[in-house]
Amino acid sequence: MNHFSLLLFALAAFNVCSAVAVVYSKHLSRQRYAEISQSQQVIDELDVQWSQLQIEESTFSEHGLVARTARDRLGMVLPGHKGIVMITRQP
């Protein structure tokens, strides 16, 4: 083998290795993109759940505030069984 053939073989081997490296790099890039997309979807679901929990908390805290204000400022209490009057509608 002469020097030209050896150089040609080395360049071809380098070209093949480079092509394999590019393909592998692209594969890793696509894997990371899929992981990022999946993580973003989980983040979006958690954001929705967090918003729902904040709404629920504000609803419950508002009810508690009204009940506490009625009890403290107005002296209101829940009636016992004897204090409840059932009103029925007669046709």
Q: What is the pLDDT of residue 5?
A: 92
pLDDT(55) > 70:
yes
Structure tokens at 86: 């059932």
> Any idea where the domains of the chain sit in the sequence?
3-75
Q: What is the pLDDT of residue 85?
A: 85
Q: What is the pLDDT of residues 32-48, one digit of tens each?
A: 999 999 999 999 999 99
pTM exceeds 0.85 for this model: no
Q: What is the pLDDT of residue 78?
A: 82
As a whole number of Å, the CA-based R_g of the chain is 36
Whether 77 contacts 71, CB under 8 Å: yes
